[in-house]
Amino acid sequence: MRHAKRQYRTFKVLATALLSEVAGRKKLAGLHRFLSEGYDWDIELIRTESEVTYERLEAAARNGVDGFFAAIPETQELHRLHASLNIPTVFTDFPNERTMSEFKRCVFVMDDVRDICRSAANAILSSGLYKSYLYAENAAGSRWSRERGNAFSAEMAKRGVRVVRMPSECVADPESLSAAILGCEKPAAIFAAYDDTARTVLSACRRTGLKIPADVAILGIGNDEDICMHTVPRLSSVQPNFEEEGYRAARELQSMMLFKGNPPRRRFFCGGSTVLERGTTHHTANAGMLAHDAMSFISRNALKGISARDVAQHLHVSRRLADLRFRDATGTSMQKAIIESRLGEVCRLLADTSLAISDVAVRCGYPDANYLKILFRRRFGMSMREWRKKIISPPSSRSLAH
């Protein structure tokens, strides 16, 4: 007997995504990938930061908006809007603690900064031997830039490596930046807050006559090809999984609009970053590109019962080579990446549905529920039932997830 396709009501959604930036474009692509699965939104899209005014957002709200998808940094204007309207809102940015404490109908979906910095540390330490390691904040001194610096310093410290921080005021001043780079021991490796900062560092190195990557290796964040493919040499970069952030944000917003209540979880982190190595680091781009293609295939097919062998076949390379290149770029194995992707969906189904454990297992690619139970306990230190009970317990007895 064939089951009728489930029908979803049409929601009116206000979406803001800065299409001038690669992160905004990819997050919007993730939103559209979610909608392609059969969901129906009537979207009013704000494309540039200058359009994000309180008056514009308030006018949209008067027209009966059901939800707000904010793929831009939270501002005071957005805080005011959320305070006055109390509509379901999802931010794809680092949490504003004030908003988290004052308003319950919002969630934050963001890149996993530790995953990004772990990938960066692995790439830098495997690309050559350096006498000094530096982190360059963005010139604006943004909070997310400092968070990335803290995480990168922590990841390198685990490996016994000290990182020298170049603060925003140093990066913003060309003379100070050049002096800081010239003053460090060579060869040096510099990890930058994002690609535009990496380009600034690269320009400073070229002005001072330093050779790239022989004297200074440079790695950015974002993989903005408008930047990375037009520097000399081409810029290596860590690519966060921006599209998955957009997809997850859209899914959380749909759930909030559909079920009305406050979300059981308020923060979500999206890992799966990959390193695209080009001319500013010693490795070629092959490993990073292959790992990116592998992670994309895993994201789309993990719940279908695939194995690492299936990933290698998709890439048209041997299993051994695929595993080697993937580990070089991400610091983990393809099989572990598949398991993490599946367990992420297991956690979502346990938190958001009342499905039986056996049904959750089948949906997530585990026909043997007993095997999943063992795997889940090993990963989280508790049974699936215990985890579900903990997640759905009353808010007063549950601390915010981080």
Q: Which residues touch 7 (CB under 8 Å, ≥6 apart)?
A: none
Which residues is 218 bridged to in the sheet?
190
275 closest CA partner among 330, 202, 317, 225: 330
Q: Give residue 401's pLDDT.
A: 40
User: Which is the CATH superfamily of the domain at 113-239?
Assistant: Response regulator (3.40.50.2300)
- DSSP result, 116-136: HHHHHHHHHHHH---SEEEEE
**Distance from first CA to last CA of the chain, Å, rounded?**
43
Edge-to-edge strands of the sheet including 274-276?
164-166, 132-136, 188-192, 216-221, 236-239, 274-276
Q: Give residue 6's pLDDT.
A: 52
Bridge-based pairing state of the strands 236-239 and 274-276: antiparallel
| 241, containing H or E segment | none
pLDDT tens for each residue of the chain, 402 residues long: 444 445 568 999 999 888 888 899 999 999 999 999 999 999 999 888 778 777 777 787 788 889 989 887 766 666 666 666 778 989 998 777 777 787 888 899 999 999 999 999 988 987 777 889 999 999 998 888 999 999 999 999 998 899 999 999 999 999 999 999 999 999 999 999 999 999 999 999 999 999 999 899 999 999 999 999 999 899 999 999 999 999 999 999 999 999 887 888 889 999 889 999 888 986 544 566 677 778 888 988 999 889 999 998 887 777 887 888 788 777 788 999 999 889 989 998 998 888 999 999 999 988 888 999 999 998 888 999 988 888 776 544 444 343
Tally Cβ neighbours within 10 Å of residue 143: 12
* Start-end of CATH 3.40.50.2300 domains in the chain: 11-110+242-270, 113-239
Q: Give residue 182's pLDDT.
A: 96
Question: Is-contact 113 148, C-beta < 8 A?
Answer: yes
Q: What is the pTM of this model?
A: 0.67
Question: Is-contact 221 196, C-beta < 8 A?
Answer: no
DSSP state, 59? H
| Distance of alpha carbon 335 from alpha carbon 323, whole angstroms | 9
How far are the Cα atoms of 107, 166, 178, 230 from residue 209, in angstroms, in the given order?
Answer: 47, 20, 10, 19
What sign results for the dihedral spanned by CA atoms 284, 288, 289, 291? positive
Given CATH 3.40.50.2300, say whether it is the number of domain 11-110+242-270.
yes
Q: Give residue 9's pLDDT.
A: 80
Phi, psi dihedral angles at 355 (to 5 degrees): -60, 145
Token pair of 337 as six digits: 């990446």
Token pair of 93 as six digits: 């940015």
* Start-end of CATH 1.10.10.60 domains in the chain: 314-393
For the chain, give percent helix, strand, coil, nearest 5. Answer: 50, 15, 35
One-letter amino acid for residue 20 of the chain = S
| 370, containing H or E segment | helix 369-380
Q: Give residue 395's pLDDT.
A: 47
Q: Give residue 325's pLDDT.
A: 76
Tally Cβ neighbours within 10 Å of residue 285: 16
What sign results for the dihedral spanned by CA atoms 124, 125, 126, 131? positive
| Distance of alpha carbon 44 from alpha carbon 232, whole angstroms | 39
Given CATH 1.10.357.10, say whether it is the number of domain 314-393.
no
Question: Is-contact 93 110, C-beta < 8 A?
Answer: yes
- DSSP result, 158-216: HTT---EEE-HHHHHSHHHHHHHHHHS-SSEEEEESSHHHHHHHHHHHHHTT--TTTTE
Q: Give residue 197's pLDDT.
A: 97
